[in-house]
Amino acid sequence: MKNMKIAIASKGNDHTALLDKNFGHCSSFVIFEPATEIVSFIPNPFRDTPEKAGKNAVEFLYNLGVSKIISGDFGLKVKPLLDSLKIQMIVIKDTEANIQSILNRLKNNPATSTNSIT
């Protein structure tokens, strides 16, 4: 868990923004580092890409060292890529979950190894 990074698909670029259910086209990615509790907001450079936004976003996050991604949903084409890169998918179905509430759940669950943090 020392260097773990978790990405969260966000509809905005602050703690009050809602979780985005559209991973590849989300507005921003929130990068959370549990060991240090550092939180960074990074605009999704692929949000307006008509094709392969999810694939490109996965590769982008992989290159940042992300090992888990939280979103409201993932496309069918993205799941095999995540599996091959050994990046864990965490799906949160609560459409009203904001970034701060998700971060709080992650901070209260130091293992963060489950498939669900709800």
In a domain, 116, yes or no: no
Residue range 13-41: average pLDDT?
Answer: 96
- Give pLDDT tens digits for 51-103: 999 999 999 999 999 999 999 999 899 999 999 999 999 999 998 999 999 99
CATH number at residue 56: 3.30.420.130
- Could you tell me the pLDDT band of residue 2, with boundaries at 50, 70 and 90? low
Diameter of the chain measured on Cα atoms: 37
Number of domains in the chain: 1
In a domain, 115, yes or no: no
Question: Is residue 83 within 8 Å of 69, Cβ to Cβ?
Answer: no
- Name the residue range of residue 49's domain: 6-108
Question: Is residue 58 within 8 Å of 87, Cβ to Cβ?
Answer: yes
